[in-house]
Amino acid sequence: ACLNEIAHRDNNINAFLSVQQESALEKAREVDQKRTAGKPLGKLAGIPVALKDNICTEGVNTTCASRMLENFVPPYDAHIVERLKAADAVLIGKTNQDEFAMGSSTENSAFKTTTNPWNTAHAAGGSSGGSAAAVAAGFAPLALGSDTGGSIRQPASFCGVVGLKPTYGRVSRYGLIAFASSLDQIGPFARDVTDAALVMEIIAGKDHRDTTSLDAAVPEFTSELEQPLENLKVGYVEHLQEEGLHDEVREATLRALDVYKSLGAELVPIKLPHAKYCVATYYIIAPSEASSNLARYDGVHYGYRADHFENMIDMYAASRGEAFGDEVKRRIMLGTYSLSSGYYDAYYLKALKVRRLIRNDFEQAFQSVDIIASPVTPTPAFAIGEHVDDPLAMYLADIFTTSANLSGIPGISIPAGFSENKLPIGLQLLAPPLEEERLLRAARMFE
Ligand code: GLN
């Protein structure tokens, strides 16, 4: 049924870069045979799952929506792909994204722009826009994405689905094509909180192939989910970014706080004094790490190589010049600049120090509250094309999401209403490190 929906409607949505029809049907049949034979089945038996195209799949094209990796076929599965296969999930396709996950609208994809299933003139968000749209459009009940500065939560908010960014280190990054390694995390998109919790049970946990993977017990996230949290203290920032916050988003956030109050929660105003530096800090650290991570695309080890060049240096330059898009080049230049001697102290090192202050703010805040509620993005889904010529405007919209990545804490976006022109608005909840269970339960209370 999902494959049929994709075949009939994805030409309008552009959620997928590739669809693995044959292997999906084969897996579905295999699961069916197991079922009839009475054999034990995995937790996701027969459930179609879509994967962002920066997650490596053995034998299946993984492009990162870049010309650089247009023909790249990984010889191995990412850790989470192994886990999903072992859980008997049916992997149906690879979803569109911004090139190397750099962007907020999928407009930086080298191949196509994903549209918002609620209104195709609007962006699905990004960078995991294809995964969010796939779930919202009914192409797959579940999808996986990656979140470096909001790339799961922002498209989830734009598309009216649930999107979770786990604690840094909760889910192995083995086989996730790196953007900014100290910020990247894989997480689920789902129609509701329960489904997101189920995916977390499968993908979370220690993996020795990712040295930052945490050796922490993985709770059965679905088991306590229906239990409302007692004496819940919900923190919120008063007067948060008064300017630039869309009225309808502010109203939806205030309404959501009222819902928690009516459920018996206590609303506690908190201070995050360094939150205003999140975007500036993020746009030093993420491009710095990207400039280093993307050095591997040299036309030799991986990916695209130019046809015409004079010598080795020229071959590097021509290959990278032809295969990377504008935004990727912009990030590489920004990052190389802030890491260069003479500027390192003023930019990169300074950003690392501010990052610590941002993290301290959250540690402080979580002394007095259990979760923090905020908007996900300053506006509902913007129109396609609205920000393409203004990268800075696009960056500034990451104000509410980047803090979770900089401080490593988990965050979730859940549907919280609609704008007057019928575009979804999300609510973000944040919790202390490794408290996904609390986060999911608090989110489930709201549903
Ligand atoms: N919009 C942010 C950026 O462009 C976040 C991207 C992400 O989380 N991958 O970097």
In a domain, 418, yes or no: no
In a domain, 340, yes or no: no
- What is the H or E stretch that residue 263 is in? none
* Structural domain for 21, as ranges: 2-203
Spacing, Cα 179 to ligand 1 middle (Å): 9
Taking a C-beta distance cutoff of 8 angstroms, is the pair 46, 301 a contact?
Answer: no
Residue nearest to atom 10 of ligand 1 (CA): 102
Spacing, Cα 35 to ligand 1 middle (Å): 41
In a domain, 305, yes or no: no
In a domain, 135, yes or no: yes
pLDDT at 422: 97
Binding site membership of 327 for ligand 1 (Cβ less than 6 Å)? no
Q: What is the pLDDT of residues 165-212, one digit of tens each?
A: 999 999 999 999 999 999 999 999 999 999 999 999 999 999 999 999
In a domain, 24, yes or no: yes
The separation between CA 178 and the C-alpha centre of its own chain, rounded to angstroms, equals: 13
To test the ligand 1 pocket, which listed residue (52, 66, 96, 98) has its Cβ within 8 A of the most ligand atoms?
Answer: 98
Q: Which residue type does 424 have?
A: P
Binding site membership of 10 for ligand 1 (Cβ less than 6 Å)? no
Angle formed at CA 243 by CA 254 and CA 184, multiple of 5 degrees: 75
> What is the percent of the chain with per-residue pLDDT over 70, rounded to a whole number?
99
In a domain, 434, yes or no: no
To test the ligand 1 pocket, which listed residue (95, 131, 148, 327) has its Cβ within 8 A of the most ligand atoms?
Answer: 148
Whether 104 sits among the annotated catalytic residues: the reply is no
Whether 112 sits among the annotated catalytic residues: the reply is no
CB-count burial class (<10 Å; 0-12, 13-18, 19+) for 197: buried
Whether 131 sits among the annotated catalytic residues: the reply is no
Structure tokens at 313: 């240096």
Cis peptide before 319 (omega within 30 of 0): no
Q: What is the pLDDT of residues 344-365, one digit of tens each?
A: 999 999 999 999 999 999 999 9
Taking a C-beta distance cutoff of 8 angstroms, is the pair 165, 272 a contact?
Answer: no
Spacing, Cα 104 to ligand 1 middle (Å): 6
In a domain, 159, yes or no: yes
Q: What is the pLDDT of residues 247-277, one digit of tens each?
A: 999 999 999 999 999 999 999 999 999 999 9
The C-alpha atoms of residue 104 and residue 282 are separated, in whole angstroms, by 14
Spacing, Cα 123 to ligand 1 middle (Å): 15
Whole-model pTM over 0.90: yes
Residue 124: give its domain's CATH number: 3.90.1300.10
Q: What is the mean pLDDT of the chain?
A: 97
Q: What is the pLDDT of residues 73-115, one digit of tens each?
A: 999 999 999 999 999 999 999 999 999 999 999 999 999 999 9
The C-alpha atoms of residue 342 and residue 217 are separated, in whole angstroms, by 44
The C-alpha atoms of residue 308 and residue 318 are separated, in whole angstroms, by 8
In a domain, 298, yes or no: no
Whether pLDDT at 337 is above 70:
yes
pLDDT at 241: 60
pLDDT at 20: 98
**Domain count across the chain:** 1
pLDDT at 286: 98
Torsion angle of C-alpha atoms 24, 25, 30, 35, degrees rounded to 10 = 100
Q: How confident is the model at residue 445 (pLDDT cuts 50, 70, 90)?
A: very high
Spacing, Cα 103 to ligand 1 middle (Å): 5
Taking a C-beta distance cutoff of 8 angstroms, is the pair 343, 403 a contact?
Answer: no
Whether pLDDT at 243 is above 80:
no
| Annotated active-site residue in 66, 105, 151, 172 | 151
Binding site membership of 151 for ligand 1 (Cβ less than 6 Å)? yes
